[in-house]
């Protein structure tokens, strides 16, 4: 059942036809980290996730997770035999059981051969990871939406899955509850060794959590690749949306307590972001939206804009409105996008190879 060529990766091939909708996917995904399945409603994200979970069986499909084949022409592992965890939009906890009993119920069913002491240690570790240790004796109706979802994630982890599937886990939460749970999802990203497939139509969630991006459109894979490179492409539908932008990983270098600004260094230079103090050397992501970037032919100093980077134009493409264009830039090996007017492009004479100064407001950066 082990196929070495697939080791360290997820291989998924599905050709699914429904009345009025078809999904065609042939993917090789990283065997670790978070892969975001991204696209508009109806693009096929949940259909793909359900097929990977084995909730539906389709002929001719193939699925292997880190070398272990779960489905091919000769075999099909049913869902209950696939070592995976599944987190839905709704937590679906048993209302008459405490959080602890909810976690133990799923744990006993999945880990029948594991001793009580080991299960207890797993439960305590998962509860600590997701910040629900003080909530274990509460009933679900005494929890906030974010707390219930964290309990649902802990329950999925307690099955010791080799793959974690998350189907828009924040979609049912309001802004405050999303802000509450996102730091815990970031902890999962940093501490989990298993791969995670994360369905979302929120660009902010993808930018904050994902390592790899699969863009689905009308049941087809429009793109699949590392997050940084894929977001910076100009030939994809996401590039023409108002939320177009890139994600950059930087290192915390200096905190200005007087102005509450954190300096982040990255290969293309440095930026200041409005952020609390963090230990120097800590890695942080920051998101740069194309609409928040302006371009200049000179390094303007008499301006409220704090962040200026020297970059080179690598490509210019039409945007989704006739007045705008998207400019792809290279800042010391870091790709950036700028959304500007066609008039500005012509006035500045922007074309591939032209050096420019990139200007980004510190208040516009999300870290």
Q: What is the CATH number of the domain that holds 331?
A: 2.40.50.100
Instruction: Answer yes or no: is 238 within a domain.
Output: no
> Radius of gyration over alpha carbons of the chain, in Å?
23
Q: Pick the closest to residue 60 from 120, 68, 51, 292 (CA basis).
A: 51
**DSSP string of 142-172, one letter each residue:** GS-HHHHHHHHHHHHHTT--SEEEEESTTTT
Give the residues across from 124 on adjacent strands. Answer: none
The two beta strands, 283-289 and 293-296, are: unpaired
Residue 170's Cβ-count burial label (10 Å; 0-12, 13-18, 19+) is buried
Task: State pLDDT tens for residues 85-138.
Answer: 999 988 889 999 999 999 988 787 666 666 778 878 889 999 999 999 999 999
User: Are 88 and 24 in a shared domain?
Assistant: yes
Task: State pLDDT tens for residues 127-152.
Answer: 999 999 999 999 999 999 999 999 99
User: Are 167 and 225 in a shared domain?
Assistant: yes
CATH of the domain at 109: 3.40.50.300
* Final residue of a structural domain among 171, 199, 233: 233
User: Are 215 and 123 in a shared domain?
Assistant: yes
Sign, CA torsion 326/332/335/337? negative
| Residue 215 half-sphere exposure toward CB, CA atoms < 13 A | 17
pLDDT at position 119 is 78
Task: State pLDDT tens for residues 329-348.
Answer: 999 999 999 999 999 999 99
* Final residue of a structural domain among 212, 233, 254: 233
Containing 104, the helix (H) or strand (E) segment is helix 99-110
The string over 255-278, giving b where at least 16 C-beta atoms fall within 10 Å of a residue's C-beta and e elsewhere, is beeeeebbbbebebbebbbebeee
pLDDT at position 110 is 65
pLDDT at position 6 is 43
DSSP 366: B
Q: How far apart are CA 143 and CA 154, in angstroms?
A: 15
User: Are 60 and 203 in a shared domain?
Assistant: yes
Instruction: Answer yes or no: is 79 within a domain.
Output: yes
pLDDT > 70 in the chain, percent:
95
Q: Does residue 5 carry a pLDDT above 60?
A: no
pLDDT at position 239 is 65
Task: State pLDDT tens for residues 183-200.
Answer: 899 888 888 889 999 999
Calculate the alpha carbon distances from 251 to 55, 260, 286 in Å.
42, 17, 10
The total number of structural domains in the chain stands at 2
Calculate the alpha carbon distances from 121 to 107, 124, 134, 185, 364 in Å.
12, 5, 16, 21, 43
Q: Does residue 299 carry a pLDDT above 90?
A: no
Instruction: Answer yes or no: is 239 within a domain.
Output: no
Inter-residue contact 51 to 61 (CB < 8 Å): yes
Mean pLDDT throughout 38-46? Answer: 92
pLDDT band at residue 240 using 50, 70 and 90 as cut-offs: low
Tokens standing for residue 134: 């003080």
Q: Pick the closest to residue 227 from 212, 209, 243 (CA basis).
A: 212
Instruction: Answer yes or no: is 240 within a domain.
Output: no
Tokens standing for residue 92: 């679906």
Q: Does residue 1 carry a pLDDT above 50?
A: no
Q: Does residue 285 carry a pLDDT above 70?
A: yes
Q: How far apart are CA 181 and CA 5, in angstroms?
A: 37
Number of neighbours of residue 1 by Cβ within 10 angstroms: 9
What is the domain range of residue 308?
A: 245-364
pLDDT at position 315 is 97
């Amino acid at each position: 059942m082990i196929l070495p060529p697939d080791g360290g990766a997820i291989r998924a091939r599905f050709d699914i036809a429904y009345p009025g909708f078809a999904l065609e996917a042939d993917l090789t995904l990283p065997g670790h980290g978070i892969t975001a399945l991204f696209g508009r409603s109806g693009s096929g994200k949940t259909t793909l996730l359900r097929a990977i979970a084995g909730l539906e069986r389709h002929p001719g499909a193939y699925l292997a997770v880190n070398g272990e084949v779960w489905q091919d022409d000769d075999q099909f592992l049913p869902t209950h035999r696939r070592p995976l965890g599944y987190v839905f939009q709704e937590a679906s906890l048993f209302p008459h059981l405490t959080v602890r009993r909810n976690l133990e119920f799923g744990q006993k069913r999945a880990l029948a051969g594991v001793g009580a002491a080991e299960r207890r240690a797993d439960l305590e570790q998962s509860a600590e990871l997701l910040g629900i240790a003080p909530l274990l004796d509460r009933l679900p109706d005494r929890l906030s939406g974010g707390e219930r979802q964290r309990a649902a994630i802990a329950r999925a982890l307690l099955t010791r899955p080799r793959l974690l599937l998350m189907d828009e886990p924040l979609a049912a939460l309001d802004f405050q509850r999303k802000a509450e749970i996102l730091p815990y999802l970031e902890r999962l990203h940093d501490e989990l060794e298993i791969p995670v497939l994360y369905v979302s139509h929120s660009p902010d969630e993808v930018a904050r959590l994902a390592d790899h991006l699969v863009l689905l459109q009308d049941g087809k894979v429009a793109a699949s690749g590392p997050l940084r490179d894929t977001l910076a492409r100009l030939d994809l539908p996401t590039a023409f949306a108002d939320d177009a932008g890139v994600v950059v990983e930087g290192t915390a270098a200096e905190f200005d307590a007087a102005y509450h600004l954190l300096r982040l260094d990255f290969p293309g230079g440095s930026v200041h972001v409005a952020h609390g103090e963090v230990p120097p050397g800590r890695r942080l992501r920051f998101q740069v939206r194309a609409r928040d970037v302006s371009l200049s032919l000179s390094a303007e100093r008499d301006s409220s804009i704090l962040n200026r980077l020297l970059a080179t134009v690598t490509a210019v493409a039409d945007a989704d409105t006739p007045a705008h264009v998207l400019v792809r830039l290279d800042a010391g090996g870091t790709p950036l996008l700028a959304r500007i007017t066609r008039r500005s492009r012509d006035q500045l004479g922007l074309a591939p190879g032209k050096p420019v100064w990139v200007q980004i407001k510190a208040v516009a950066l999300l870290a």
